[in-house]
Amino acid sequence: MNLNSRIEKFKNIDIYPVISSEFCLNRDPVDVLKKIADGGAKIIQLREKHIPKIEIAKLAEKFRCITQQYNMLLIINDHIDIALQIDADGVHLGQDDMHPIEAKKLAPDLIIGVSTHSEAEALEALKNRADNINIGPIFATGTKSLPMAPLGLAAITEIAPLVDIPFTIMGGIKAHHIPELVSLGATRIAMVTAITEADDITGNLCELRKLYASALNSCIKNY
């Protein structure tokens, strides 16, 4: 798949599950992915921070098989070499990872996403040719150690209008936040533990996506 096709698919995602082994309640992350896929997810990000890189590569290969079966986008966090090795759809980079322009040179057909935590970082990512940005953390989160305080809802209305590329939001998001987030224009919502630590992952994701769709329909009707 070429970059333009991948970006078009990315534009149409809704709930964006992120899987880390440490937040799966000791369940196999591959089984967690299968349950997420059965819930209708259009995308998944594999984000592993605390296991050896060789194990991440093996896990990524298994993820690629499942995401191809379900026609899902697969984004690899941090590791552009692994993303290229398994023909993933994109890589998501932090502020301390590879520079987006260098990533573009190495992987011109991959979606290059960048985590941003301020207006300045968002504008810098845009200047550096990122294909999408993540804005966060919106709320307090225990899945990632960050030096900054939660940005709050204002970040969506303040940062999003400044960029002309797709954006996602992340950080401490739960089901009850979705209607307000969608009403503020956040239409790609990344979630970790609210999905991966659910008792019924498939059923829970189906409900999250229904809640999202309902919120989006309400916004359209009120427009």
The single residue listed with the structure tokens 């309902």 is 214
Each of the 223 residues of the chain gets a pLDDT tens digit; together they read: 999 999 999 999 999 999 999 999 999 999 999 999 999 999 999 999 999 999 999 999 999 999 999 999 999 999 999 999 999 999 999 999 999 999 999 999 999 999 999 999 999 999 999 999 999 999 988 776 666 789 999 999 999 999 999 999 999 999 999 999 999 999 999 999 999 999 999 999 999 999 999 999 988 766 5
Q: What is the DSSP letter of 186?
A: -
CATH class given for the domain over 3-222? alpha beta
Instruction: For residue 137, say if its preceding peptide bond is cis, omega within 30 degrees of 0.
Output: yes
The domain locations on the chain are: 3-222
Question: What pLDDT is recorded for position 149?
Answer: 85
Question: What pLDDT is recorded for position 116?
Answer: 97
Question: What pLDDT is recorded for position 148?
Answer: 73
Largest CA distance in the chain: 50
d(CA 177, CA 197): 17
Give the number of other Cβ atoms within 10 Å of residue 22's Cβ. Answer: 15
